[in-house]
Amino acid sequence: MERLFNLQELGTNIRTEIMAGITTFLTMVYIVVINPAVLSAAGVPFDQVFVATIVSAVIGTIIMGLYAKYPIAIAPGMGMNAYFTSVVATHGVSYQVVFGAVFLAGVLFLLLSLTKFRETLIRSIPDSLKYGITSGIGLFIAFIGLRDAGIVVASPSTLVTFGDLGHPVTILSLVGLFIALILMARKVSGALFISMLITATIGYFTGNLDFDGIVSPPPSVEFFDLDIAGVFSQGLYSVVFAFLLVTIFDTTGTMIGVGEQAGMIKNGNFPRAKQAFMADAVATTVGSTIGTSPSTAYIESSTGVAAGGRSGLTAVVVALLFLVALFFSPFVSAIASLSAITAPILIIVGCFMMEGLAKVNWKTFDEAFPTFATMLIMPLTSSIATGIAVGFITFPIMKLVSGKWKEVHPILYVFGAIFIIQMIFFPTH
């Protein structure tokens, strides 16, 4: 095993890699609960999403560990699952159609991973827009968390307003949120997952949560009949593009960040990048056929690297632990049924996604406004695709009128024009 993963060359050992894998798993296992809870709101059967989440995580992470040999874990991404649900609701289409869009995005990602166009596309998008998109997704899922917790509720006069803090679910949500915040502040490993367990325990003893069991054989699932034709008949091209674009640069950013932390990137060179992207693309494509939203590299992998993980063995350990989670579906289903347990995690993860805003040059208006518009539109329209479209339209226009048109990559002008045509003549709402 040491020879397979080059452990000696990387300055690590089997014990360190196993501990690093356990650390990474504990920091990201919340997705096993959160993802089914979010997608089931779109009508997707809970057990189907539960198994699909684990299967896609195992496939992507195993490929990452054995093929790319990086200590990076793959799983369905936060934000994309919430966007999936919003597409079903706002476009009035079946979840089979949206899974068709995810499948197409996955296939395109696979193809792009084999070409240079992926790198060209990433370079063409300015950093400020990337940060705006990531932050907009963060606001989007944080808003969903606040809504699920009952902290904000619908209002006929102001659209949203402050909720009733005396409601049992809201009280428990706030308790869970503060438990998570305390654990995060104390830098406890696996803080989000531990906070969910504590909140679930409180919910059980206060009568808000019932368990029908803890362990059971894995639920049986079947492949979906993807409605790919519906993607074209409903004109969901911007949805496919949103899934594709966010997955590409989210994965790229995470891999580069974790790779640099692990000391694997030398002079800007990212070895085995093609293999690493294949892991994500395959997980997304396969996941769409059995019931989950796009997969991505998890930034939580950095906790495993901090624990000493340097090789693909760390990722293999994470994948094996996800397989073990397959046998806890009754426990996961019960926890996911109480929004007070999952809502605080959505709020905190939303906060994590704000980090890039510190890198935006807010004093340069033609950089600042497109970023602001992108992140503002996403939560207000419940559409990541619309936020991306607004950013891709306003950025080249602002640079053009500022006399800085040469700073814009030609691809961005093309996409801007396409989005203008789509929003005027082929609106998605």
For the chain (length 429 residues), average pLDDT per consecutive 10?
80 91 90 94 93 96 94 91 91 93 94 79 82 88 92 92 94 96 90 90 92 87 86 91 84 76 70 85 94 91 86 95 94 89 90 88 95 93 86 95 92 89 70
The model carries a pTM of 0.82
The position carrying tokens 């208006």 is 365
Q: Which of 108, 376, 147 is nearest to 248 (CA)?
A: 108
How many angstroms separate the CA atoms of 128 and 142, rounded? 21
Look at residue 50 in the predicted model and tell me its pLDDT: 95
The amino acid that residue 59 corresponds to is I
Look at residue 258 in the predicted model and tell me its pLDDT: 79
Look at residue 185 in the predicted model and tell me its pLDDT: 94
pLDDT digits (tens, 9 = 90+) for 145-204: 999 999 999 999 888 999 999 999 999 999 999 999 999 999 887 888 899 999 999 999
Q: Which of 67, 124, 121, 97 is nearest to 283 (CA)?
A: 67
Look at residue 266 in the predicted model and tell me its pLDDT: 67
Look at residue 248 in the predicted model and tell me its pLDDT: 81
pLDDT digits (tens, 9 = 90+) for 265-295: 666 567 787 888 899 999 999 999 999 999 9
Give the number of other Cβ atoms within 10 Å of residue 333's Cβ.
21
Look at residue 281 in the predicted model and tell me its pLDDT: 93
How many angstroms separate the CA atoms of 280 and 244, rounded? 11
Helix count and strand count (H, E) for the chain: 20, 4
DSSP 3-state of 208: coil
- Max distance between CA atoms of the chain, in angstroms, equals 66
The secondary structure of residue 269, as a DSSP letter, is B
Look at residue 267 in the predicted model and tell me its pLDDT: 64
Look at residue 199 in the predicted model and tell me its pLDDT: 95
How many angstroms separate the CA atoms of 279 and 271, rounded? 14
